[in-house]
Amino acid sequence: MCGIIGFVGEEQAAPIILSSLENLEYRGYDSAGIATISDGKICLKKDVGHLEEVQQKHHLDELPGVLGIGHVRWATHGGVTANNAHPHLDCSGNIAVVHNGIIENYRELRSRLKSKHNFISQTDTEVIPHLLEDYLNDGASLEEGVIRVTKQLQGSYAFVAIYSREPGKIVAARQGNSLIVGLADGRKFIASDSLSFLKMTDQAIFVEDGEIVVATKDKVRFFNQDSLELEKSPGKIDWKWDEATKQGYDSFTLKEILEEPETARRALMQDKNLVMDMALGILRARQVVFIGCGTSRYAALLGRYVFSKFGGGFSPVIIASEYPYFSESIDSNTLVMAVSQSGETADILEAVRAAKRKSATIFSIVNRVDSSLARMSNKVLYLNCGPEIGVVATKSFVAQLIIFYLLGFAIGNKLDEGLDKLAAAPSWIAGNHRENGKGLIKLAWKLRKRKDFYYIARGTNFHIAGEAALKLKEIAYVHADGMPAGELKHGSLALIEKGTPVIAICPEDYTFHETLSNVEEAKARGAFVIGVSDRREDVFDKWIKIPKVEEIFYPLVSIVPLQLFAYHSAIARGLDPDKPRNLAKSVTVK
Ligand code: M6R
């Protein structure tokens, strides 16, 4: 799960590649590198660290030449070392490759190649330039070589290759990982994500699995693995490039949390016929199965509750990576509801591919219009929340909840009623930001030395406990458990001691009194109790006030201050909320 970019044009390539990589850094930021071609030679600089650090140390943008490739890495095979950073070279130093994905058979390929080739990294990627080297030495062109290489590779990949003896050309291939071509006069891009070139062009062509792309500054050609040329036409990317900038905020994470009132408004802007159509599909299916990972899975858990409340029946929520172990139960009468911000999460794509093989119908809830998941689905509702760059999902979760509410109301044949009620959601959220802003900063600083947090709740609010704990783990690097309040006494209560923070999500709904009893149990063992509620209680050491709303909507208003709390906790601990260690936004490996 890395970001890759290839560029060919008329001006210096390196500054353009560097600026493209800045917009891909959400995909990986443990090392970075660029290779260009100049005077018939590959010029390469790469190192460990965030892109900015590598740039400061090596001046990547000064590499000469009008063509090049770049990479930001999230390590899978081989540690975070300069040798493992991309681009990777062949033995002669004439071929350079950047890759996203996993070459599953790299061990076999490497042991076959190693008697003739000198490997300097531990990565799976390095087999690609060495395989290419053999084919190009046999007289193949770069594109012929790439086609032959793809026949050797198992696993998933999107890679871009350059060759110093064919200096006007970049060649790329895709199998399982996203790849998009950007087109402008005299400039061509091949990248993991259109955000990388959106500032320069909104004209793009999606590369599909099994396709090979050959780009020169004036032309892009597509081939299949039988070397047959394919006809493809460009489309327009709808996002605006400046949506993917910080716009004056200190971090993307804060910007995205504060955008949530607008997010809610945009998520409500759905085609009513499509929503009704999907609701009918849900009602008609023999079974509905949700799949998602991380935050998207928590949204699906709420979706399950909403569907059940409005008459859609009980639906299992399967963590996408666990899908294979349940796949026997999927058939042509199954409706799979896939939930994903990026639409590129490998576990989800793999599960959806498997479900399609069983002839299941796929509905999805996705943010990225250009994503693989959107293109694989029978019907899609889009989150419409614009680019989410912060590694932690925040505004996309709010949009996912809104869409599940809409689908729930549609299932109950009350879509208009749902739209009317949810029209107030932007002001609930904006009020929540205003009300809690300062108090949450103080609370985060007060608790900044604490290493264990327990989030407890019941019913639908329990999923918010899970999601809020995930936020804190991700950006504040703190152990946090989100658990059903009633479970505390079955074991975890043993961990509560004087001052242990227990965050109870207990709006005044059907869960209120029982959750409060569990809060009392924790308090009696010395817990520092933070109550997230519309009703103040003496047992709370700190009250996070949420607005009074209809019961079903409490999850929507409870998560907002808890996202902010996680954000301020990261700041109070001196951490970068946008780039949490070991993580990346788009998990495109299994
Ligand atoms: O793009 P997706 O919604 O499919 O991503 C799923 C998870 O990887 C994602 O939600 C992850 O857990 C986030 N970092 C959560 O903040």
Interatomic CA distance for residues 193 and 190, integer angstroms? 9
Phi, then psi, of 63 in degrees rounded to 5? -60, 135
Lookup result for tokens 């259109």: 194
**Residue 247 φ/ψ region, left for φ over 0, alpha for ψ in the -120 to 50 degree band, beta for the rest:** left
Confirm or reject: Cβ of 474 under 6 Å from ligand 1. yes
CB of 384 closer than 8 Å to CB of 370: no
List the alpha helices (DSSP H) in 138-235.
142-150
Which atom in ligand 1 lies closest to the alpha carbon of residue 391? 14
Give residue 475's pLDDT.
96
Interatomic CA distance for residues 541 and 534, integer angstroms? 15
Give residue 423's pLDDT.
97
- DSSP letter (8 states) at residue 87: P
CA atoms within 13 A on the CB side of 310: 24
Give residue 338's pLDDT.
98
Instruction: List the one residue out of 91, 118, 98 whose CA is nearest residue 162.
Output: 98
Interatomic CA distance for residues 83 and 71, integer angstroms? 13
CA of 372 to the centre of ligand 1 (A): 15
**Helix (H) or strand (E) run with residue 301 in it:** helix 294-309
Question: How far is CA 265 from its chain centroid?
Answer: 22
CB of 494 closer than 8 Å to CB of 539: no
Interatomic CA distance for residues 39 and 323, integer angstroms? 51
Interatomic CA distance for residues 67 and 35, integer angstroms? 9
- CA-only gyration radius of the chain, Å: 25
Architecture of domain 249-423: 3-Layer(aba) Sandwich (3.40)
Confirm or reject: Cβ of 461 under 6 Å from ligand 1. no
499: CB partners within 8 A, 6+ apart: 450, 526, 527, 528
Same fold, 3-244 and 435-590: no
Give Dmax over CA atoms of the chain in angstroms: 80
Angle subtended by helix axes 395-411 and 415-422, to nearest 10: 150
Confirm or reject: Cβ of 320 under 6 Å from ligand 1. no
Q: Which of 1, 317, 345, 583 to mutate to test the pocket of ligand 1 (most atoms within 8 A of CB)?
A: 345
CA of 475 to the centre of ligand 1 (A): 13
Which amino acids are annotated catalytic? Answer: 2, 585
Omega cis (within 30) before 387:
no
- DSSP letter (8 states) at residue 322: G
Length of the chain: 590
Confirm or reject: Cβ of 170 under 6 Å from ligand 1. no
Confirm or reject: Cβ of 393 under 6 Å from ligand 1. yes
Which atom in ligand 1 lies closest to the alpha carbon of residue 396? 3
Instruction: List the one residue out of 47, 4, 374, 13 whose CA is nearest residue 190.
Output: 4
Q: Which of 583, 587, 588, 589 to mutate to test the pocket of ligand 1 (most atoms within 8 A of CB)?
A: 587
| DSSP string for residues in 225-293 | TT--EE----EE--S-GGGGS-TT-S-HHHHHHHTHHHHHHHHT---HHHHHHHHHHHHHSSEEEEEE-
Confirm or reject: Cβ of 394 under 6 Å from ligand 1. no
CA of 523 to the centre of ligand 1 (A): 33
- DSSP letter (8 states) at residue 208: P
SS (H, E, C) 535-562: CCCCCCCEEEECCCCCHHHHHHHHHHHH
Confirm or reject: Cβ of 351 under 6 Å from ligand 1. no
What CATH class has 435-590? Answer: alpha beta
| DSSP string for residues in 457-515 | E-TTHHHHHHHHHHHHHHHH--EEEEEEGGGGGGTGGGG--TT-EEEEE--SSTTHHHH
CA of 335 to the centre of ligand 1 (A): 22
Confirm or reject: Cβ of 392 under 6 Å from ligand 1. yes
- Map out the domains of the chain as residue ranges: 3-244, 249-423, 435-590
Angle subtended by helix axes 415-422 and 272-284, to nearest 10: 120
Q: And the tokens for 151?
A: 């026949």
Give residue 266's pLDDT.
96
Interatomic CA distance for residues 192 and 199, integer angstroms? 15
Would you call 327 exposed, middle or buried from its count of C-beta atoms within 10 A (0-12, 13-18, 19+)? middle
Interatomic CA distance for residues 287 and 314, integer angstroms? 8
3-244: CATH, from 3.90.79.10, 3.30.70.920, 3.60.20.10, 3.50.50.60: 3.60.20.10
Which atom in ligand 1 lies closest to the alpha carbon of residue 293? 6
pTM for the full predicted model: 0.89
How confident is the chain (590 residues) per 10-residue block, as mean pLDDT?
Answer: 94 97 91 97 97 97 98 92 97 97 95 96 97 97 98 96 97 95 97 93 95 97 96 90 84 96 97 97 95 97 93 90 89 96 94 95 94 94 94 97 97 96 96 89 97 95 97 97 94 93 97 95 96 96 96 96 97 95 82
- Which regions of 110-219 does DSSP assign to beta strands (E)? 155-163, 170-175, 180-184, 187-191, 203-206, 212-215
**Residue 180 φ/ψ region, left for φ over 0, alpha for ψ in the -120 to 50 degree band, beta for the rest:** beta
CA of 78 to the centre of ligand 1 (A): 24
CA atoms within 13 A on the CB side of 323: 25
Instruction: List the one residue out of 387, 28, 72 whose CA is nearest residue 242.
Output: 387
Confirm or reject: Cβ of 436 under 6 Å from ligand 1. no
- DSSP letter (8 states) at residue 327: G
